[in-house]
Structure 1
């Protein structure tokens, strides 16, 4: 019996944590088991897609789970969704998901005083962090992962304009699956606090990557990713023109600025008990005024 999206998400988080611990203490990983975990995620994307995506954008207790583990799982789920919408072959989807979950294993080789430093990083510290794709690929090679997965991991911080790392590849030189990973890695990273900036919430993060102008990301993949995630991602909150507060429950790919929303707070400021749904694309009386943070 397949798990539901809540259970599967939490299982995946605990496994990513365990994999990191195993690598840290010289253990090994079972490739078949990781591929099965990705297959389970694909099943949920096919059967509980909107609910699974909402889990990505839900609030989490960062005291209990490290941010890198949350990011790995979120990037995996969103990368698979974009991959499905790109009609990738099943084998490519599995490899993409495995790479997304394991791409930052090399962070275990970066000194903790650098990794968790509060405040600006020095040039030497930035250079050390930028070695993590190389560290990750070396770890995966030692564990017997395929060259295809290793190449995806190695290229996931390369940029479309050639200014990425570790090898300064550009455009079609970059592994195609890495280009997908790059978009979702950038998007999820924007939603997390960094020493040099505060996090962005869903709408602002999407707006930022839309304005990339062919610098970091493959424009064709970016276009599909925006349609897949939505301008206002599932689970995010918006204010409508009538002063009501709503939660996005589904996106309209043809009209990404007009999702389907559920009323949470009525226009008079009272909590909504009706679970009223509004398809903004099919109702000219409503439009989104702004994105709001969950409180």
Structure 2
């Protein structure tokens, strides 16, 4: 593919073949002329060249085809910010709908003692489909929010999302991802059988209270067996708090005795819990969560599972607000496979901290735009208010 210097571009000129910003992003199709605003944005964000197999011309090509279909290739990367907010709103609505289902599910169980297995299966299948279609947004776990009176409901849905995304990275087939999502949704159903002052409390629990909390996997296992859930789902719930070094509960199992679902659930549940706000702390950023999980490799968490999570989230997960070497501040919007330290980001401010209107997308593998740090909660709050 040839390169065309940005300095050669002028308003009203056409390119005879599709033009690309880089290897992934379609910038312009042959039937659309260059306009002044587009050229100015290319110059503003220091794109010295674009790529195309075509040539510059004064008129559109006859019978020009539309843009080449490329996987995950949105039109014009430098206009990503215009669409990002709308897509996140769509994801929030879908998340809220799944949250509403979970709240009704748990409420119905508490009032009537009934779990409808077919309904749960269908809803998890729908959540998996939503995750495939809006992965970049539903995996912004700290950004997801909804109205619920019980944090267990929120935690259940987020754990289900994280677990299925991790399982997908491990190449599990669809039916197993649905089972894994079901474990995530129900892994703390035993908790709601306990007094709410135990799991909703902000205070330090007494030893007797901690012992009561540690019974929730057993309670959950018995509940699911009562409704004839498959054994592998029941075991995933029973083993969601087992650590690979044998220090977990309720059975202190060693790594070779813990099911795959149990291993995934332990890490996924921890990720979801840390990514959610609590009365005593705000949500923790994704980078800090990943660092924390990695400190527990081969003690609390299985190494294969953590590697799959890194493949899913990178070391700077979706939705993490970061500082770049250039001075810009940005949010992580996509993960580049095999590049755990170099996510794709959407720039939010210039080096002086002023919010930018265009919000272009850039890779961070380039030394100029390397991720150098993560914004604090206070910095994120100020940035969100400015946006």
Say yes or no: TM over 0.5. yes
Is 2:99 the counterpart of 1:13?
Answer: yes
Q: Return the alpha-carbon distance in structure 2 between the equivalents of residues 50 and 59 of structure 1.
A: 12
> What SS does the corresponding residue of 1:247 show, helix, strand or coil?
strand
Is 2:373 the counterpart of 1:290?
Answer: yes
> What SS does the corresponding residue of 1:5 show, helix, strand or coil?
helix
Q: Deviations over 1:46-93 (max 9, x none)?
A: 322112212x231536x7453211111111111111111111122211
Q: Return the alpha-carbon distance in structure 1 between the equivalents of residues 267 and 241 of structure 2.
A: 10
- Post-superposition offset of 1:164: 0.5
- Post-superposition offset of 1:231: 1.1
Which aligned segments of 4 or more residues in structure 1 are displaced greater than 6 angstroms? 194-198
Structure 2 residue aligned with 1:141: 225
Structure of larger gyration radius: 2
Q: 1:60 aligns with which of 136, 139, 145?
A: 145
Q: Return the alpha-carbon distance in structure 2 between the equivalents of residues 32 and 290 of structure 1.
A: 45
Unaligned runs of at least 5 residues, structure 2: 1-89, 382-387
Length-normalised TM-score, structure 1:
0.91
Is 2:72 the counterpart of 1:72?
Answer: no
> What SS does the corresponding residue of 1:150 show, helix, strand or coil?
helix
Provide the aligned length of Structure 1 versus Structure 2.
289
Is 2:305 the counterpart of 1:221?
Answer: yes
Q: Return the alpha-carbon distance in structure 1 between the equivalents of residues 133 and 148 of structure 2.
A: 29
Q: Return the alpha-carbon distance in structure 2 between the equivalents of residues 8 and 89 of structure 1.
A: 23
Q: Return the alpha-carbon distance in structure 2 between the equivalents of residues 154 and 101 of structure 1.
A: 13
- Post-superposition offset of 1:197: 7.3
Q: Deviations over 1:222-278 (max 9, x none)?
A: 111122112111112111123221011101221111111111121122111012111
8 Å contact 1:137–1:153 — kept in the other structure? Answer: yes
8 Å contact 1:39–1:94 — kept in the other structure? Answer: yes
8 Å contact 1:75–1:188 — kept in the other structure? Answer: yes
Structure 2 residue aligned with 1:259: 343
8 Å contact 1:119–1:196 — kept in the other structure? Answer: no
> What SS does the corresponding residue of 1:204 show, helix, strand or coil?
helix
Q: Deviations over 1:139-184 (max 9, x none)?
A: 1122232222111110111110001111111112001111111111
- Post-superposition offset of 1:207: 0.4
Length-normalised TM-score, structure 2:
0.71
Higher mean Cα deviation, 140-149 or 167-176?
140-149
Measured on the aligned residues, the alpha-carbon RMSD in Å equals: 1.9
Is 2:220 the counterpart of 1:131?
Answer: no
Q: 1:65 to 1:235 in 2, by over 3 A?
A: farther
Is 2:323 the counterpart of 1:239?
Answer: yes
Give the 5 Å matches for 1:9-158: 9-54=95-140, 56-58=141-143, 60=145, 64-158=148-242
- Post-superposition offset of 1:196: 8.5
Q: Return the alpha-carbon distance in structure 1 between the equivalents of residues 331 and 280 of structure 2.
A: 30
Q: 1:196 to 1:121 in 2, by over 3 A?
A: farther
